A and B are shown apart, each in its own frame.
Chain A
Amino acid sequence: MCATCGCDAEAGVRVFGPGELAYGDPAPAHPAHGHASHEHTHDHPHYDPPTDQPGTTAADGHPHPPGRHPADQPHPAAADGHPHPPGSHPANRAGAGGSARERTVLLQEKVLAKNDSLAAGNRAWLAERGILAVNLMSSPGAGKTTLLERTVRDVGTELGLSVIEGDQETTLDAARIEAAGCAVAQINTGAGCHLDADMVARGLRALDPPAGSVLVIENVGNLVCPALFDLGEAARVVISSVTEGADKPIKYPQMFRDADLVLLSKIDLLPYLDFDTERHAADLKRVSPRAAVLAVSATTGEGLPAWYDWLRQRSRAA
């Protein structure tokens, strides 16, 4: 099981490099098995020590995460006759009478230490090559891919733009980005609700962006989980769309708190919506006083030059 997302994603994560997109196959065959019939890279680094075969392939031929096989642990009833969920009995292992002694081992380890160290590796790799990596996050449907399509068309060549797409399933977004005209890798997280540093490392190997270029990592659409996982990016950009309502920053403060730039998107729709722009700006100021804010429309192009300038400026500093 994926140590970071804990949601069977290790078995389910698939990375499609440029030229490996499964056109006309929006749901690759047997996505839950993690191995569609088409070709894709098989260098699967694991969080576990690199044994490569974690020994979790069960007799039925499908990989099972340890401890998740229905036959593994049949939940025997305890001695008192009541079934206890594991972990609920205070003295399961040590024995209630203290017959076994306990020794305290201080660990003082950050829970996300592993992801953070992989992210640091990504960051160093990107910095060596002068590549600006942007972690683009929002709720689903806020307009991440549409904004990127337009960005690729307008300044893709100038910035040397490439994209890593993160979605639970399908290569639909990668196909859109590739059609817009830039190199793209697609990560399917399976059951995972966010990208992590290991997935991005795999995406970087598949994509191999050139030195001095700009890489946008489009995270899984989700305003909660991606906030916790450092990918090795130089900047975090969060999209807040006017169709979502003005209260998103204050409802999801964790996501907006660490944003370097907030893009208020779909502003061409403002005349048709009851969107309180002032409230949105005030809430954002409260949650993330240091974030830059730009209002944009990928449909009309309004505000996009400022977004492109921001990318240029950050790219020069990378």
Chain B
Amino acid sequence: MHELAITESVVQAVTERLPGSAITCVHLEIGPMSGVVADSVRFCFGLVTEGTSLQGARLEISQPAARCRCRDCAAEFEPDGMIPLCDCGSADVEILAGNELRIRSVEVAEVA
């Protein structure tokens, strides 16, 4: 259950970057090959943000498509699942996209 760990890291990174700011929304990017389950992060988010400047914030997760390049035939393709396999039969592929695990941006409440 490392998603709890991941969510903790998100909260810590945001509170360190924006100390004292009331955060109303967090945008995360979680790639399908990152090994992190977006729904589990959603589940943990409310629990982990409690008592922090992120309490009550929305959580928006974008999941960009994965992209691989075959090292044997150089074809680029979108893998089907966690174990990429090129149409040429090779499993020796480079993951170009899909490993993302990033805090893209946050929304901060501005006091009028």
Contacts and interface: CB of A to CB of B under 8 A. Distances in A.
Genuine A/B complex: yes
Contacts of A115: 9
Interface of A: 1-7, 47-49, 66-67, 72-73, 85-90, 92-94, 99-115, 193-194, 224-225, 227-229, 250, 253-254, 285-287, 289-290
A310 B2 CA distance: 31
Contacts of A225: 1-2, 5
A73 B56 CA distance: 12
A304 to B, nearest CB: 29
Interface residues of B, number: 54
Interface of B: 1-2, 4-10, 12-14, 16-18, 22-25, 28, 35-36, 44-52, 55-59, 82-83, 85, 90-92, 101-112
B35 A228 contact: yes
**Residue of B36, B50, B55, B106 with most chain A CB atoms under a 10 A cut-off:** B50
**Residue of A72, A89, A103 with most chain B CB atoms under a 10 A cut-off:** A103
Contacts of B106: 104-105, 107
Contact of A93 (B16, B56, B105): B56
Contacts of B102: 108-111
Given A112-B9, A286-B83, A6 B48 contact: yes
A73 B24 contact: no
B53 to A, nearest CB: 9
Given A6-B5, A66-B51, A253 B107 contact: no
Given A109-B17, A109-B102, A227-B35, A67 B51 contact: yes
